[in-house]
Structures are given as C-alpha cells and as structure tokens.
Amino acid sequence: MPKLLDLPIELLCNVVDGVDDRTSLLKLCLVCKTLLAMSQPVLFNSFRKAGERPEYGNQSYTCYGPAPKARLISFVRTIIERPDLALQVKWVDVETFDDDINPEDEFEEPPSEEDMEIFYDAVRQLDVKKRYPWIRALTELRAIVFIALLIIQTPNMEDFEFILTYKPISLLSGLARRTANGVPSNAFKSLKKLTVTHFDAAGGFNLQQIARLLSLPSLQSLFTKHCLGDNVVDLGDFGSFECEPGTLNLSTLVFDDSSIDATCLHTLIAACKSLKQFEYQSMLFHEMSDVDQFTPSEMYSALKCQKSSLEMLTLDFTEHEYDQLEGDWRGEDPIIGDLREFTNLKHLRVDQSYLEDREDLTVLPQSLESLTLQHCQGPISKTVADLVVLSKTALPSLRKLHIIGKLNVVLGLPKNISRDDSAFIKACEQLKGLVAGSAIDLLHDEEFWILGHRSAL
C-alpha cells in the first residue's frame, strides 16, 4: 500500500503548503525529519494572535482585554534562537496593548528566567540610542517590546497587522528610523502591506500615531479601521499629520469605519507618489459626533493630484451620514465631481444618487470597466438603460454593473411584494432585458437574482 512519504518531494511540498491549520502542521512536524523540514517553514510563515479575550464590565458596559500573549512570547523566543525560521515569517498579526486590569489573565505561567535572559540578551545587542525603555518594557512584560523584537528578527515580513490604543507605539515607530549609527534598520525592510485597527469601535486613532511607518520604503498598501485623521482623541493629542508631497510609495489607501478631516486627507493623498486605489467607508456619526469629516467634494479636490494614476475609487457614506455633513452639497455643485479627468479609473463604487441625480452620465471616464451603485433607494432601470447606450460610445470598456440595494426597491416595486408574484418576476426579466445583447454583466447579490440570472443564461 502506497505511503505518504512515497510521494515525490514536489507533491509532498504541495500537500504541506495546503495545510492552513496550525495544529495539523505541528503534528506533521512530529512525524519524521522529512515532514519536519517541509512543515516548519509553513508553520513559521505567519504569526497570528490567539486565545480568548478576557471580558470585563457589567450589564450596561462591557470591555475586553487583549488576547493572551504567552504564545507571542514563545514565538519570539523561537525565532531569536532559530534565525533560519525567522527568515520564513511573512505575515504578523498582533495587538500592541496589555491587560492592565487583570494582567494574570495573560499567562498560564510567566516566562522562565532562562527565557527572560534570552530576551535581555537580544535587547543588549540592539543598536539603539536609548536602551532603557526596552529594558523597562521587557521587565514589565509589555507586549510592545516582544512585538518589536519579533519585527527586528523577521526582515522578510511583508504583511503586518496590529491593533493599537490611544497610547504611543514608540518602540515600533522608532524601528522605522535610521539606527543610532546612521545605518538603515533591517526592521520592516520588506514590508508591503500595513493594517492598523483601533481596539475601540467607538473611538479611533490619529494618523500621526503611525506616520513614521508610512514612510517605509517598501510599503505599498495601508488598510485602517477606526482612523480619525487629525481629530484629537480623548486620551492623547498626537498632533497633525505631516508629510511632504510625493514622498510616500503607498499606492493603496483603504479606510474602514473612519472619520478623516479634509486637511489630513489632502496631506496624505498629496504625499503619495502614485495612488492607484482609494477606498473609504465613513464612521457612523452616532458613534463619535464631535469629529470632522471630509465631504465628497473635498475628497474629489484632494484626489485630483492623482487623476492620472488612480484606478479604483470607493466612497461609502450612509444616508444618515449625509444629513450630518456640513454645507449644501446636494445642490448644484456635484457630489463628487466630473471623473472624466481620471483617465485610468477602472473601478468605481458610489451611491446611486451620484448618477441618479444627473442627466448626463458622461461624467464617467472612458476607462471605466466596472461600476457599483450602492445604497440604492429607488428604481434603477433608467440608469441601467442609459449606461447600456453609453457602453457603445462614451464608455466602451464598461463590462460590469453591480447593484447594491433591496431588489424590490431597485425594481420600483412595493416592499411587501412576494418573490413569486408575477409582477416581481416580470420586473426582473425587464431589468435583465435592458443589458441583453450588450457587453455589460448586471449583478445583484440577492439569491433570487443570482439563481434567476443563471437560469436565464
């Protein structure tokens, strides 16, 4: 009977590469030396925080502490002792804060004296101007110092995700500076993607907190959640975001559940040498009512300096948020602006109202390949028909039209109409008929539409 190890090495490698369960990889490491050699690099390809967060509070208020950091400490010790495994690490996902309420919840047992000596020795070897903050953080078993040591040991890391609080992350941002001897640090030297999230969904972090990280030479993509731009947070003022124009290599900016003021937005976008992707979903104003938020027209003004490079644009404001924005930008002045100047824009996602309120759809660029209309609050048939006509002239590249909204609403039918009603089925067929024979694929996420569309094909 054929055995697993009878397979060619190439197939064995493919099998091991396909295992994404950490427990299974650990078991493979224990089988034999051959599988150990194949499984260890996969096992150490990434580090992700693990463990249940402790829960505190009462019936009216609940908060959560950080994930236990015992696994982080164990992982850091291993890569310090095994530089060959440290070189395999490509993705790190951590939390930078500690459990100051019940610190005993973070460990089943604290690191041994032998472990601590390994960490102290690693700190003593650092080429930094001030070693005392590192020693103190290590003595207090602060998560930030173990994360910093992890980053220093993993020069091939390409993807770094972390959750922060209102506190500074000096040990991390300091790694982006030049070392004390003026030699560029190996830390973050391969980093391509940075993902930053604030731990409190009802709060946020200032962009200046991570400003030094944005200047990393290999960094291409920034993903954030709960970013407040220059808005001052309750527990600390980090100042305004500052960056010289054309100094950042960032090509992708994605903001989720954020609230950024116009000045900060202009500074950040102007700092990018060549921005290709900009996605923005605004923070609900009922969560933080005292923060500044740019308007869509201010976003348009900020993006104009990237009109030759931008390929993807997403702007997501809810109707509730529209009512909170200052100024009458629903009047004669376009909500976003004429996008024909954006000659490389291929993917656009905006509210239905952006196009529904316009008689001339030629504000869209000829380069457009896919269009998503979200928050649809009314019938969509006229817009679809107009876009089909334009796809033969002004929009020759348009291939996908994605509609997001309740299906009965976009069909112009009552909310309580049944999916089995003949009027509903007829309306669906009529809408599909508008794109029949064109190059446009009309999409909707509702199951009825998907199944019906497939059956029609």
pLDDT digit string, tens, across residues 75-132: 999 999 999 999 999 999 998 877 655 555 555 567 889 999 999 999 998 877 788 8
Write out the two tokens for 262.
């116009």
State the SS3 of 10-48. HHHHHHHHCCCCHHHHHHHHCCCHHHHHHHHHHHCCEEE
In a domain, 58, yes or no: no
In a domain, 2, yes or no: yes
Task: Give the least confident one: 209-213, 255-259, 316-320, 415-419.
Answer: 316-320
**Which has the higher per-residue pLDDT, 21 or 195?**
195
Rounded distance, CA 425 to CA 287, Å? Answer: 40
Q: Is residue 52 over pLDDT 60?
A: no
Which one, of 162, 283, 169, lies nearest residue 223 by Cα? 162
Tell me what pLDDT residue 445 has: 79
Rounded distance, CA 433 to CA 440, Å? Answer: 11
In a domain, 263, yes or no: no
Question: How high does pLDDT run on average in the chain?
Answer: 81
- pTM metric for this prediction: 0.86
Tell me what pLDDT residue 103 has: 54
Tell me what pLDDT residue 56 has: 44
- What share of the chain has pLDDT > 70, as a percent? 79
Q: What is the mean pLDDT of residues 219-229?
A: 93
Rounded distance, CA 7 to CA 9, Å? Answer: 6
Q: Answer for the pair 269, 236: CB distance below 8 angstroms, yes or no.
A: no
**Which has the higher per-residue pLDDT, 17 or 54?**
17
- pLDDT category at 325 given cuts 50, 70, 90 is very low
Strands (E), 165-288: 193-198, 221-225, 252-258, 277-282
In a domain, 261, yes or no: no
In a domain, 5, yes or no: yes
- pLDDT category at 358 given cuts 50, 70, 90 is low
Q: What is the mean pLDDT of residues 369-375?
A: 93
**Which has the higher per-residue pLDDT, 119 or 358?**
119
Name the helix (H) or strand (E) containing 14.
Answer: helix 9-17
Tell me what pLDDT residue 42 has: 76
- pLDDT category at 67 given cuts 50, 70, 90 is low
Q: Is residue 53 over pLDDT 60?
A: no
Rounded distance, CA 159 to CA 193, Å? Answer: 5
Tell me what pLDDT residue 199 has: 82
Write out the two tokens for 60.
């009216």
Rounded distance, CA 88 to CA 40, Å? Answer: 9
In a domain, 12, yes or no: yes
Structural domain range at position 4? 1-43
Rounded distance, CA 106 to CA 99, Å? Answer: 7
pLDDT in tens, 159-215: 999 988 877 788 888 887 654 455 567 789 899 999 999 887 667 888 988 999 999
**Which has the higher per-residue pLDDT, 275 or 419?**
275
Task: Give the least confident one: 57-71, 183-197, 369-383.
Answer: 57-71
In a domain, 13, yes or no: yes
Q: Is residue 24 over pLDDT 50?
A: yes
DSSP SS3 for 192? coil
Task: Give the least confident one: 153-162, 301-310, 371-380.
Answer: 371-380
For the chain, what is the domain count?
A: 1
